[in-house]
Amino acid sequence: MRPVIPYVTAALLFGLGVYGVLRRRNAVLVLMAVELMLNAVNLILVTADTAVRAVLPHSGQVFALFVIVLAAAEIGVGLAIVLQLYRLRASVAVDEVPLTEPAESPRTGGAPEPAAVSAAGRDTEVGR
């Protein structure tokens, strides 16, 4: 078995994940690209487990299992945030999220008046 084949696969998948995270506007697609990156890391761990003789056997596979668990937790919280964003602004475009809190309005939590909050958010929005 040539370990370079799965290693190169993993490196290409990681590059694709980075590209997807930076390119996509839809938050769900950004999460999918993050999954690609996590899977690339898993493939590297499993390949290293067979290619490198470690002191503790099967450490790579155990780590891959841990990363899978972390990915499951990440996707749960991430989708909750995405759905909350959709409920707040009726859009999941990540480049329309204002990075600053609207200064003049008190913290209303946003949920009662989404139109007012999004209008105030556009005024103070940075980077557009």
Partner 1 sequence: MTGADVLLLALGAVAVGAGVLVVTTKHLVRAGLYLVVCLGALAGDYLVLGAELVAWVQVLIYVGAVVVLLLFAVMLTRAPIGASDDLDRPGWPAALIGGGAGLGLTVLLVDAYRWSTVELTGAGAGTAERLGEQIFRSWVLPFEVLSVLLLSALVGAVVLSRPDIGRPGPAPDGVPSQDVDSGGRR
Question: Restricting to residues 40-59, which ones interact with partner 1 according to CB under 8 A?
Answer: 42-43, 46-47, 49-51, 56-59
E strand intervals along 43-114: none
97 binds partner 1 (CB under 8 A): no
Question: Can you tell me which of 12, 116, 119, 123 binds partner 1, judged by CB under 8 A?
Answer: 12
Angle at CA of residue 95, ends 89 and 100, nearest 5°: 75
C-beta closer to partner 1: residue 1 or 103: 1
116 binds partner 1 (CB under 8 A): no
61 binds partner 1 (CB under 8 A): yes
Q: How far apart are CA 16 and CA 122, in angstroms?
A: 31
Q: How far apart are CA 31 and CA 7, in angstroms?
A: 23
Which two tokens mark 121?
A: 């958010």
Query: Binders of partner 1 among 64-83, rule CB under 8 A?
Result: 64-66, 68-77, 79-83
5 binds partner 1 (CB under 8 A): yes
Q: How far apart are CA 5 and CA 43, in angstroms?
A: 11
Q: Are 92 and 86 in contact (CB under 8 A)?
A: yes
Q: How far is the CB of 103 from partner 1 (least distance, A)?
A: 18
117 binds partner 1 (CB under 8 A): no
* Number of residues engaging partner 1 in binding (CB under 8 A): 75
